[in-house]
Amino acid sequence: MRLLQLAFAVALASGLAALIIYITGVTYLNDLSDEDLEALSTLQSGFQKCVASNGLGLKAINGKDYCEVTIQFPADTIPKWKDPKTGEVEGLSYSFNLCEAVATWEQVRNSTTILTREFIDALPHGWEEYAWQRINKGVLLNRCKNKTLCVEKLSLVLPETPPYVPRQFSRCAVIGNSGDLLKTKFGNEIDEYDVVVRENGAPIQNYTDFVGKKSTFRLLNRGSAKALDKVSELYETGKEVLLVKTTIHDIMNKMIREIPILNPVYLMLGASFGSAAKGTGLKALEFALSICDTVDMYGFTVDPGYKEWTRYFSESRKGHTPLHGRAYYQMMECLGLIKIHSPMRADPKRIVKWLPSRSTVVAARKASEKLLRRVGAGSDNPLAACSITKKQIKRKPESMSGLRKAAVEHQKFIKGVTLYPLEHNPGHGQLCTVP
């Protein structure tokens, strides 16, 4: 009898929860104008056509609302990756939220993704509640009660202000480590970009025909950051900017000081992407989109018929989900964020068909923000998303000199404000420092 009562209580609670979710969703939809709904509908229908035209067999299926879309692989795709925790083989379909994607990525285009002293100082209780988390074993620092010690540990990777601004560079390429790179000689093509972003310990020497010679930035995970001395030797000494996506280690500090490491080294900030495919690759794209006009990607995709994800320079490692990643990157391409290059998409003049117009993206971004209850939802002004506003530290007037026209115009548009993402912030608000 008790089990029956318990089952009834659970069912009733589940029903109430579903009803609340439904009512909440309807309420949010009621906040949208006809123009908002039209923008989301246009984005979703165009997205389906784009995936069908460019996805090499992928298919996009609309979900239960204006935001949900599922990307399906052909039924004959052979999944190889297994979840190390559950042992389950990766699926052939992945659901994404277009509203979350278009709203978050548009915000990334206006933000800085480098951790600065200015950000920590402006963040309420920045040292006590945030800074120690960016230091390896920071929990031992007792929430930076000895602030001097925390400052000392971060000082070598903590610029006072952002070293880069949105639109600073024109054409950028992000190079992954997939074995697909060995199937096409993209080297000369890659070297023509203004900026080239590489990952972890991926070598250039002996592979230049396939991956190019140029390297501007290199994004590092925890393991690669511990081998900072070896990574710094992969390109011309001191030339690559090294971006660490995790924490600063004592071993890194020691290397920078004593070897010494001549490369600039920074820590990354980042947006929260919810259901996105995780990994260094997505982080590299996030960084590139925050500083470049256009972003192309090489060595990420796994074309149809693959047998297993491989690296171009070594044996593959466990932990990669190639199908999930490929589906997410296809979504990014069909939102107009990136352009994918691979053996089956080797034509540099390839046109991505059915891309949304800029006006459609802007309208869908506004509608998505309203639907997601974002800070400053629906505004034309990027500064409406500022949930924390602080005055900038004094900067040199010449700091904007030498920037390309697009970057200068963008700085004028945002009135010289620096926007920082507030990671895992419920309303996706931003911390903004104003002149």
Given a cut of 70, the residues of the chain with pLDDT beneath it are: 1-30, 274-278, 306-308, 316-321, 395-400
Q: Count other Cβ atoms within 10 Å, centred on residue 78.
A: 11
Q: pTM higher than 0.85, yes or no?
A: yes
Q: What is the pLDDT of residue 370?
A: 96
pLDDT tens for each residue of 21-44: 333 344 456 679 999 999 999 999
Name the token pair of 72. Answer: 């399906």
Residue 211: phi, psi to the nearest 5?
-120, 0
Per-residue pLDDT tens for 197-247?
999 999 999 999 999 999 999 999 999 999 999 999 999 889 999 999 999
Place of tokens 């963040």: 123
Report residue 369: phi and psi, to 5°.
-60, -40
DSSP 242: E
pLDDT at 366: 97
- What are 284-298's pLDDT values in tens digits? 999 999 999 999 999
Domains in the chain (CATH in brackets) are 2-107 (no CATH), 169-345 (3.90.1480.20)
* DSSP string covering 204-264: -TT-HHHH-S--SEEEE-HHHHHTHHHHTTSSSTTTSEEEESS-B-HHHHHHHHHTT--S-
Judge contact between 146 and 135, C-beta under 8 A: no
pLDDT of residue 21: 35
